């Protein structure tokens, strides 16, 4: 086993591009820690919110890269806080740690402390961390932490596209066939992965349009900038090594449902979805039809893991039988950072208690709808 010998803090991913590449190939990580996903996010959403990149790199006794934390820093407030790059768009967060590294509690604390001091960081706010990933334990689980408010919804995929349909109940198959027939009335139904620039731009435009129509109809805030998310998706999908895959269900030339996500190490992480709310289309449940087609396509490609991210939604429970707990870490470095960590921890605990309550969570959703809506 190797030990941490030196720790560096970098403000540009270009400074450690080669080290990141090496660790990405050796470490057990999700798609959200890959360069192909993270760097377009930093250039678009991260930059638009004024977030500065912070890459804390640890090296072993030979000088080789041993561990990497890909973070952003918010310096716009009185307290400088570092969080995982990807923000709310990243559902699974972890450092890149070489398998043969001895990264005990003391080493992790040293990496965070020295990295924070070099970058002028007061505290860390590290959310949605799995206790383990692909058999590798999350190193930050050794430090004080607390359960995240929401669970990660995931499933193990079947081996063939035929098995996806075969696993459905008789009633589900009947409904699927009926919906496909009705959607065929709109136009010939096809499923595609957008690959050409023209296809990618068309799918992103449809996503932007569908999301805005649905949010306006609901009368609530989207909670995110749809145009900014669309810009990230387009840049990532158009890259030579795409960081986002875009999949679409079409009726004729009309895009009726969309999924966007990232694939890494035989796992597909679904990030966004949308569908056409026109009654002629929505009665066919295009969101469900595109999910079936996506799962079939992923099975045929040999993808073995599928997740729909964190957060509560009935459709996630339908497609994902695993509900994996996540944990959050709030770590103060300076005196004001420690005060921030205590306050942030308490707020996150309250949020979790509300979400886990069978009566408080429905009430909170109603209040939120009233506050953001027209009522």
Residue-wise pLDDT tens digits, 108-166: 999 999 999 999 999 999 999 999 998 889 999 999 999 999 999 999 999 899 999 99
pLDDT confidence tier of residue 217, bands split at 50, 70 and 90: confident
pTM: 0.92
Q: What local confidence, expressed as pLDDT, does residue 354 receive?
A: 82
Dihedral over alpha carbons 256, 257, 262, 263 (to 10 degrees) = -90
Rounded to whole angstroms, the Cα distance separating 111 from 91 reads 23
Q: CA 365, 82, 32, 265 torsion: positive or negative?
A: negative
Residue carrying the six token digits 């609901």: 218
What is residue 214's predicted lDDT score, i.e. its pLDDT? Answer: 86
Residues 288/293/296/302 CA torsion (nearest 10 deg):
-110
> What is the pLDDT at residue 361?
55
Structural contact between residues 127 and 328, judged by C-beta atoms closer than 8 angstroms? yes
- What is the pLDDT confidence band of residue 369, given thresholds at 50, 70 and 90? low
DSSP letters along 33-98, please?
Answer: GSHHHHHHHIIIIIHHTTPEEEEEEEEETTS-EEEEEEEEEE-SSSS-EEEETTGGG-SS---EE-
What CATH number has the domain spanning 4-148+326-372?
3.40.630
Which range, 210-219, 326-335, 363-372, has the best average confidence (pLDDT)? 326-335
Count other Cβ atoms within 10 Å, centred on residue 207: 26
- 320-342, pLDDT tens digit by residue? 999 999 999 999 999 999 999 99
| Bridge partners (DSSP) listed for residue 192 | 248
CB atoms within 10 A of CB 100: 10
pLDDT digits (tens, 9 = 90+) for 86-117: 999 999 999 999 998 989 999 999 999 999 99
Collapsing DSSP to helix, strand or coil, 250 comes out as strand
Instruction: Look at residues 118, 83, 105, 84 and name the one whose alpha carbon lies nearest to residue 6.
Output: 118
pLDDT higher than 50, residue 374 = no
Residue 219 pLDDT exceeds 70: no
User: How far is it, in rounded angstroms, from Cα 18 to Cα 16?
Assistant: 6
CA distance to 18, 26, 105, 136, 341, per residue, from 101 (Å): 19, 12, 13, 12, 28
At residue 267, the pLDDT reads 97
Distance CA 298, CA 263 (A): 10
Q: Where in the chain is the domain with CATH 3.40.630.30?
A: 158-303
pLDDT of residue 38: 98
pLDDT at residue 281, as a whole number: 96
pLDDT of residue 94: 98
Task: Report pLDDT digits (tens) over 36-85.
Answer: 999 999 999 999 999 999 999 999 999 999 999 999 999 988 999 999 99
d(CA 67, CA 86) in angstroms, rounded, equals: 18
What is the band of 352 on the pLDDT scale with cuts at 50, 70, 90?
confident
124 contacts: CB under 8 Å, gap ≥ 6: 71, 81, 82, 83, 112, 116, 329, 330, 331, 333, 341
Asked which of 1-5, 137-141, 153-157, 245-249 is least confident by mean pLDDT, the reply is: 1-5
Residue 222 reports pLDDT greater than 70:
no
pLDDT band, very low/low/confident/very high, at 375 (cuts 50, 70, 90): very low
Reply yes or no on whether the pLDDT at 299 is more than 90. yes
> Within 10 A of 24 (CB to CB), how many other CB atoms are there?
17
Confidence tier at 365 by pLDDT (50, 70, 90) = low
Tell me the average pLDDT across 259-265: 97
Q: What rounded mean pLDDT belongs to the chain?
A: 93
Q: Tell me the two tokens of residue 62.
A: 């030979």
Of 310, 238, 263, the C-alpha closest to 44 is: 238
Per-residue model confidence (pLDDT) at position 130 = 97
Terminus-to-terminus CA distance in the chain, angstroms? 61
Considering the domain delimited by 158-303, tell me its CATH architecture. 3-Layer(aba) Sandwich (3.40)
Q: Tell me what percent of the chain is helix, strand and coil, each rounded to the nearest 5.
A: 45, 25, 30
Residue labelled with tokens 């990295």:
115
> Is 110 in a helix, a strand, or coil?
helix
Contacts of 169 (CB under 8 A, 6+ apart): none
pLDDT digits 0-9 by tens, 271-289: 999 999 999 999 999 999 9
Contact 81, 124 (CB under 8 A): yes
Residue 355 pLDDT: 78
Closest CA to 211 of 258, 167, 247, 169: 258
pLDDT at 357: 67
């Amino acid at each position: 086993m190797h030990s941490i010998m030196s720790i560096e803090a970098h403000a540009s991913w270009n400074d450690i591009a080669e080290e990141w590449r090496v660790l990405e190939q050796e470490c057990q990580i999700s798609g959200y820690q890959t360069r192909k996903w993270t760097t377009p996010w930093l250039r678009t959403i991260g930059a638009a919110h004024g977030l500065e990149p912070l890459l804390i790199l640890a090296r072993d006794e030979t000088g080789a890269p041993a561990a990497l934390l890909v973070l952003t820093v918010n310096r716009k407030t009185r307290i400088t806080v570092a969080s995982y790059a990807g923000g709310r768009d990243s559902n699974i967060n972890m450092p890149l740690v070489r398998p043969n590294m001895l990264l005990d509690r003391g080493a992790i604390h040293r990496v965070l402390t020295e990295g924070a001091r070099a970058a002028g960081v007061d505290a860390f706010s590290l959310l949605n961390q799995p206790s383990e990933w692909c058999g590798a334990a999350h190193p930050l689980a050794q430090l004080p932490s607390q359960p995240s408010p929401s669970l990660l919804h995931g499933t193990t995929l079947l081996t063939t596209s035929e098995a996806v349909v075969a696993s459905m109940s008789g009633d589900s198959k009947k409904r699927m066939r009926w919906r496909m027939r009705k959607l065929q009335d709109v136009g010939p139904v096809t499923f595609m992965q957008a690959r050409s620039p023209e296809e990618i731009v068309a799918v992103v435009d449809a996503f932007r349009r569908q999301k805005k129509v649905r949010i306006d109809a609901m009368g609530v805030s989207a909670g995110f900038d749809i145009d900014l998310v669309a810009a990230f998706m387009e840049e990532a999908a158009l890259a030579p090594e795409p960081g986002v895959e875009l999949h679409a269900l079409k009726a004729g030339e009309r895009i009726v449902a969309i999924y966007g996500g990232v694939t890494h190490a035989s796992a597909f992480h679904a990030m966004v979805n949308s569908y056409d709310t026109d009654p002629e289309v929505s009665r066919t449940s295009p969101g469900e039809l595109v999910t079936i087609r996506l799962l079939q396509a992923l099975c045929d490609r040999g993808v073995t893991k599928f997740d729909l991210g964190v957060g509560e939604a009935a459709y996630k429970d339908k497609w994902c039988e695993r509900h994996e707990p996540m944990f959050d870490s709030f770590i103060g470095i300076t005196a004001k950072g420690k005060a921030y960590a205590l306050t942030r921890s308490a707020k996150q605990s309250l949020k979790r208690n509300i979400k886990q309550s069978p009566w408080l969570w429905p009430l909170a959703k109603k209040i939120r709808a009233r506050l953001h809506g027209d009522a």
